[in-house]
Each structure stands twice: as structure tokens, then as C-alpha cells.
Amino acid sequence: MSVLVYTESEEGKFKKTALEVASYAKAVADQMGTTVTAITFNANDTSVLGNHGVEKVLQVNNSSLDKFNANAYASVIAQAAKQEGAKVVVISSSADSKYLAPLLAIDLDAGYASNVVEAPSSTSPFTVKRTAFTNKAFNNTTIDTDVKIVGVSKNAFGVHESSASASAEEFSANVPEMGVQVESVDKVTGKVTIADAEIVVSGGRGLKGPENWGMIEELADVLGAATACSKPVSDLGWRPHSEHVGQTGKPVASNLYIAVGISGAIQHLAGINASKTKVVINTDPEAPFFKAADYGIVGDAFEVVPKLIEKLKEFKAQQ
């Protein structure tokens, strides 16, 4: 009756969120007096999971599962949960995990709580705290079924060390009919994605035009950050829709979010509010973003950003 955690990998390597959900699973297992089993798909070296409390790894090695398929992955995870008699299944908030979770919930007759930010406050009744109203509130929810699925918010629980040694074993599961086939994947390579980024640098209409994005990209480069934009910017076609963050765009839960020339419409703030530290650079001191930010500079982005890049380069050189 262990806690099962789905640890996501990309090209064989674990994502940071995998270590975070493993850490969360360990906290739940400790509360319930049990151990953590992880399930992985075509991952290479699983020993790192031991550092985050995983004792057993079920390794699925199957080339037909090289590309993510929600139906197939949900089915395989369900088979693992049944084999292990898992009462709690922990997953991340990645696009893929959120895709498969409801299918898994139906397969396991399990209640599912998404966007969970803390370890359960009680395991009987099983009570978790999740975000609601697009980060404007929290909702304490009980999961009332025998088997429970917890979707952990990104960057909320954090990665915790814990020494265990993870023993790996092959898990061969039946792969169901896929239903949907991926024809092609169009993915930016060599650039950090908004979903995985520790730091996000975001530009708004204050930048006046797409030709001025060079400094945003340079600032992001210096920080190892992902670039993002506000909704008007993506609506105007200055930047691709995939960079749009906010309520109807991508959610951001980075450690640092730097908003340049973004006024801070409520829809924008809702989408980025889960970020830990927020910085705003804007000419208008009345811009609503100043109420939501931790640090702010009232000033012209075209003057402030190049100076900031320079100062950051000096800082990085000293490190």
C-alpha cells in the first residue's frame, strides 16, 4: 500500500518537477507510515530518485511509449498503482500530467485534487490545500475515495533531500490502444521553457514593438531565464501565443518573475501570482503591477533594462 509517484523524464533525464513530486510523495508516505514507489517511462539512471525518498522504482522501458500518450500512460500508471496497492498517487502539474490525471482518476475510481500546494493537513480524512480562483484563493478539500490522486503545484512544495536507495525493477505493462497519434512535435530546443524555468522575463505593450525584444532576450539570457509576454503582445502578434502568460495563457510559478512594460491587468496577475518573487519595471507608478510586485522600478524600460543587464553581467562575473 505504498504511495506511487509518477516521475516525469525527458530524453531519459528526470525533470525538476519529478524530484519535487517525489519529495511530496515521501512526505505523504511518512504521514501514512509507508514507502514511496516511483514509476518512470524510458528513464536512464533512476538512482537520483533515492535522494528524494523513493525506495522502489518501476521502470517501464517500451519504445512505443517514447512519445507521451495520455491514454497509454494513464493505463500503465493505473496498472502499477493496482499492482502496488497504492492508496495515493502523486503527479505533477505539467501539461502532460494534467492531461493524463483525469483519465487515471476514472481508471482507478480515484478522487483527484489538482494544484495542491502543501502536504496533506490530515490523512484521515485526506485533506489537501489547493489553489482556486486562479491563485486568488486557496481551497481546503478532502478526497473521499479509497484511492486518491494528488496533483502537486509546481514550485510550491519544493525539492527535499532524503536518503533512501532506490531499487529499480522492470515493469512490463499492457499498452492499450492509443486513440490519438502524435504526428509531429514542434518544440523549441536549447531554450528553457516557461514551465521549467526558475526565472521568467516577460515583456508587455510598454516595449512598443516586436523589434524591441532584443533586450528582453538578452536579459533572459544573462539570467538563464525563459521569455514570456502579456496577452496584448501575443494578440498583436509581436510574440508567439506560446509565450503568453496569464489567465488564458500559460501559468507561471517561477522563483523570479520580471515584468517589463506590463501594467498588470488582473488576468495577467492571476496567471503569474504563484511566482515567488515579482519584479516590475514600468514608467507608470500607478500601474496595478506595483501592488502585486515585491520589487519595482519606476522608469523607462529602454533605459533601465540595459543598465540591469550590465549590472547582472558584473554580478555574474563575480560569482
Residues 233-292 that bind other proteins (CB under 8 A): 235, 241-242, 244, 247-250, 255-256, 266-267, 270, 276-277, 279-280, 290-292
- Applying CB under 8 A, which of residues 61, 193, 214, 284 lies at the interface with other proteins? 193
150 binds other proteins (CB under 8 A): no
Among 13, 136, 165, 172, binds other proteins (CB under 8 A): 136
Min dist CB 203 to other proteins, Å, is 17
DSSP 120: -
Which of these ranges, 50-58, 98-106, 156-164, 207-215, lies near other proteins under the rule CB under 8 A?
Answer: 98-106
Among 145, 159, 221, 302, binds other proteins (CB under 8 A): 145
| Closest to 143 in 3D by CA, of 125, 164, 130, 167 | 125
98, 160, 175, 210: which one binds other proteins (CB under 8 A): 98
d(CA 90, CA 106): 15
Q: Which stretch binds other proteins (CB under 8 A): 44-52, 58-66, 132-140, 160-168?
A: 132-140
Residue given cell 521553457 in the structure block: 193
DSSP H or E segment with residue 199: strand 199-203
219 three-state secondary structure: helix
Q: Rounded to 5 degrees, what are φ and ψ at 188?
A: -70, 125
Which candidate, 211, 222, 221, 220, places its Cα nearest to that of 259?
A: 220
Contacts of 318 by beta carbon, 8 Å cutoff, 6+ apart: none
Q: Which of 32, 138, 162, 205 binds other proteins (CB under 8 A)?
A: 138
**Running DSSP on this structure, what letter comes out for residue 294?**
S
Nearest approach in angstroms of CB 62 to other proteins is 19
Binding to other proteins, residues 195-214 (CB under 8 A): 195-196, 198-199
CB of 231 to other proteins, least distance (A): 8
Q: Which is nearer to other proteins, 36 or 280 (CB)?
A: 280
Among positions 29, 194, 215, 260, the unique one binding other proteins when judged by CB under 8 A: 194
Instruction: From 103, 102, 86, 104, select the one nearest 147 (Cα to Cα).
Output: 86
Interface region with other proteins, contact rule CB under 8 A, candidates 41-49, 53-61, 188-196, 205-213: 188-196
In sequence order, which residues have a C-beta less than 8 Å from that of residue 105 and are 6 or more positions away?
111, 112, 149
Stretch that binds other proteins, among 31-39, 42-50, 63-71, 201-209 (CB under 8 A): 63-71
Q: What whole-number distance in Å separates Cα of residue 12 and Cα of residue 8?
A: 9
Q: Which of 71, 123, 162, 212 binds other proteins (CB under 8 A)?
A: 71
Of 317, 315, 260, 316, which is closest to residue 293 (Cα–Cα)? 260
Distance of closest approach, residue 294 Cβ to other proteins, in angstroms = 7
